[in-house]
Amino acid sequence: MKTKPKVLFFDVNETLLDLTIMKKQIGDALGGKDHLLSLWFTTMLQYSLVVSASGQYKPFGHIGAAALQMVAANNGITIPEDKARDIIVNAMQNLPPHPEVKDALTLLKKEGYTLVALTNSNKESLKNKFENVGLTTYFDELLSIESVGKFKPFTDVYNWAAHKMNAKPEDCMLIAAHGWDVAGALWAGWRAAFVSRPGQQTFPLAPQTEINEPNLKLIADILIQYK
């Protein structure tokens, strides 16, 4: 029987929150070209890494807006900076949790787990998102990478989060629906569980996660059996 992690860290966007509404708004901004959504998201992630690797820091929402401008420009669409930022802010603030999320979090809280949100978004945005959809009370701590000035999956972020919760890396588990995020956590010495939501895959060159299930409730069902 596996031992319980001391702290469960949750990625937020896509892991806990359903991005369907956001994707519709971004798609509308890109002239209804839904096939550009994945390009926008990967461009945003790419430039978040460029910013961190260059020793800079810009809010994740600003990077998302810049990526939106870039993808739009390559497709003959002009979006001014202020409008792009408004689109991203509005799209990100009222995302509903996936249907099974609250039941899963309730189960894990009842089992005595410490639950922490760990996001690339800034803390104010995270706080607003959770308050808007009733998730705040499930979590013991809300952590944003803005305190570190680097984005996941930089190892410094996971080290900082573990230290913040007074936990050793091996006592931490990341639960996320992004292959790059669980890879970063595993390489930082953490444990990891992958939420294999539609369109998401683990990175074949990274260590395997100890749990891989299509939704959070199935992951919670496994975790409550740990001793």
Decide: 91 and 110 in contact? Cβ < 8 Å.
Answer: no
Closest to 176 in 3D by CA, of 144, 225, 224, 209: 209
Q: Give me the pLDDT at residue 182, please.
A: 98
Q: What's the rounded Cα separation, in Å, for the pair 186 and 173?
A: 9
List the domain boundaries for the chain: 7-18+95-223, 20-93
What CATH class does 7-18+95-223 carry? alpha beta
Where does the pLDDT of residue 129 fall: very low under 50, low under 70, confident under 90, or very high at 90 and above?
Answer: very high
Q: Which two tokens stand for residue 21?
A: 């509404």
Unique residue bearing structure tokens 């461009």: 43
Q: Which two tokens stand for residue 175?
A: 């639960």
Q: Give me the pLDDT at residue 92, please.
A: 86
**Per-residue pLDDT tens digits for 170-220:** 999 999 999 999 999 999 999 999 999 999 999 999 999 999 999 999 999
Q: Give me the pLDDT at residue 33, please.
A: 86
Q: What's the rounded Cα separation, in Å, for the pair 37 and 184?
A: 24
Q: What is the mean pLDDT of residues 106-133?
A: 95
Give percent of the chain with pLDDT exceeding 90: 92
Q: What's the rounded Cα separation, in Å, for the pair 194 and 222?
A: 12
For the chain, the maximum distance between any two Cα atoms, rounded to a whole number of angstroms, is: 56
What CATH class does 20-93 carry? mainly alpha
**What is the chain's alpha carbon radius of gyration, rounded to the nearest angstrom?**
17
Give percent of the chain with pLDDT exceeding 70: 100
**Per-residue pLDDT tens digits for 50-73:** 999 999 999 999 999 999 999 999
Decide: 15 and 42 in contact? Cβ < 8 Å.
Answer: no
Q: What's the rounded Cα separation, in Å, for the pair 165 and 147?
A: 14
Whether 7-18+95-223 and 20-93 share one fold: the answer is no
Q: Give me the pLDDT at residue 39, please.
A: 93
Q: Give me the pLDDT at residue 87, please.
A: 93
